């Protein structure tokens, strides 16, 4: 081999060796990083590939909803502000109910309360995610009803599993921890005296004809479309506590199911607690699609039925 060619080869070897040394020192790793990144598997893509088409669609829909939620709320605020300005210009009343400041000052008095209402939320494992979302939506309605009531009752949301579906859906509502509601992960049997508890269930043979002072009424926070019929009734029997059903059949003629939502049961109890009669309360709370009608009073049960009997006698 000629000397000049050999020298050129030696120089080439030296350049190659020095280049590798530079790379090893970490001074020029861009090329190597691009190669390694290309060879590494994409974790998010692999996770998405494991999901079904329907699951990916639901996930995308949820992400879009979370992004648009704040924007939607801002638009609602602007719309309400425009309506307020228009009402002021036209000299119309700008508020139908109490102001926000008044509502914030209106706190539930636990020491002077005659009754308390508990929503048992220990059914995470028995509901699909869609039904949990419905359950939490009904909790929002309960909180709003109680907050705007002239006589709010002490309200407890208990049995919330830490890191569970109910807690996750509640967390989507900013500031829910500041509600005038007592949240707890403990079971209601650990929070209240068993002698004061009354579990409300439609399967009970005991009729709730009046609200007793000192009682804690438990509503089952289970949205299952009647898949677990009688579960709350069985719970009450297992724990050895009292149970009762709302007096629907005693005051109404109903041709459909008598299963009410969580917020409907709460609204009935709240109205009766405020002094309203059972029959008008039930007619007001139950939706029109159930086709309920007032039941004629053929026996004297309370002042309401006495007045009905007297009117029929006069006519």
Find out whether 91 is annotated in a ligand binding site. no
Beta-carbon neighbour count of residue 175 at 10 Å? 6
Annotated binding residue at 246? Answer: yes
Judge whether 158 and 121 are in contact, CB under 8 Å.
Answer: yes
Distance of CA 269 to the CA centre of its chain: 19
pTM: 0.65
Residue 224 catalytic?
A: yes
CA–CA–CA angle 296, 310, 282 (5° rounding): 35
Q: How far apart are CA 27 and CA 268, in angstroms?
A: 74
The answer to whether the CB of 131 falls within 8 A of the CB of 164 is no
Residues 266, 119: Cα–Cα separation, whole Å: 9
Phi, psi angle pair for 118, to nearest 5°: -120, 140
The mean-pLDDT minimum among 35-44, 105-114, 115-124, 259-268 falls in: 35-44
Closest CA to 165 of 124, 193, 104: 124
Helix segments in the chain, DSSP class H = 3-24, 30-39, 43-50, 53-89, 100-105, 129-148, 165-170, 188-191, 231-239, 248-251, 262-273, 278-285, 302-314
Q: According to the model, what pLDDT value does residue 98 have? A: 54
Q: What's the CA gap between 244 and 124, in Å, rounded?
A: 24
Q: What is the pLDDT of residue 71?
A: 79
Q: Which two tokens stand for residue 290?
A: 């159930």
Provide, rounded to the nearest whole percent, the portion of the chain with pLDDT above 70. 71
- Spell out the domains of the chain, with CATH numbers in brackets: 115-294 (3.40.1280.30)
pLDDT score of 225: 74
pLDDT band (50, 70, 90) for residue 44: very low
pLDDT of residue 6: 44
User: Exactly one of 4, 10, 124, 224 is catalytic; which is it?
Assistant: 224
* pLDDT tens column, 187-232: 999 999 999 999 999 999 999 999 999 999 999 999 977 777 889 9
Q: Please, are residues 196 and 114 in contact by the beta-carbon 8 Å criterion?
A: no
282 is in an annotated binding site: no
Residue 13, pLDDT > 80, answer no
The number of beta carbons lying within 10 Å of the beta carbon of residue 220 is 24
Average pLDDT, integer, range 269-274 = 94
Q: How confident is the model at residue 41 (pLDDT cuts 50, 70, 90)?
A: very low
Annotation-wise, does 13 bind a ligand? no
Lowest mean pLDDT among 88-102, 176-190, 214-228: 88-102
Q: Name the DSSP letter for residue 160.
A: P
């Amino acid at each position: 081999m000629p000397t000049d060619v050999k020298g050129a080869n030696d120089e080439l070897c030296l350049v190659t060796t020095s280049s590798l040394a530079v790379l090893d020192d970490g001074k020029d790793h861009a090329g190597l990083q691009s190669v390694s990144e290309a060879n590494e598997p994409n974790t998010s893509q692999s996770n998405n590939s494991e999901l079904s088409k329907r699951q990916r669609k639901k996930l995308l829909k949820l992400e879009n909803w979370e992004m648009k939620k704040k924007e939607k709320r801002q638009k609602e605020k602007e719309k309400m502000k425009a309506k307020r300005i228009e009402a002021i210009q036209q000299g119309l009343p700008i508020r139908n109910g109490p102001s926000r400041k008044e509502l914030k000052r209106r706190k539930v008095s636990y020491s002077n309360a005659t009754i308390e209402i508990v929503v048992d939320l220990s059914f995470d494992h028995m509901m699909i995610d869609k039904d949990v979302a419905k359950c939490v939506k009904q909790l929002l309605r309960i909180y709003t009803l109680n907050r705007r009531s002239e006589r709010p009752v002490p309200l407890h949301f208990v049995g919330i599993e830490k890191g569970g579906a109910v807690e996750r859906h509640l967390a989507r509502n900013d500031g829910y921890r500041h509600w005038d509601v007592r949240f707890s992960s403990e079971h209601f049997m650990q929070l209240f005296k068993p002698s004061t508890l009354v579990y409300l269930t439609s399967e009970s043979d005991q009729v709730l004809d009046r609200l007793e002072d000192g009682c804690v009424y438990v509503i089952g926070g289970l949205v299952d479309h009647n898949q677990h019929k009688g579960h709350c009734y069985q719970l009450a029997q297992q724990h050895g506590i009292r149970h009762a059903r709302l007096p629907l059949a005693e005051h109404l003629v109903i041709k459909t199911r008598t299963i009410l939502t969580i917020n409907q049961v709460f609204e009935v109890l709240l109205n009766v607690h405020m002094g309203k009669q059972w029959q008008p309360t039930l007619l007001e709370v139950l939706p029109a699609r159930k086709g309920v009608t007032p039941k004629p009073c053929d026996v004297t049960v309370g002042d309401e039925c006495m007045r009905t009997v007297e009117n029929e006698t006069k006519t």
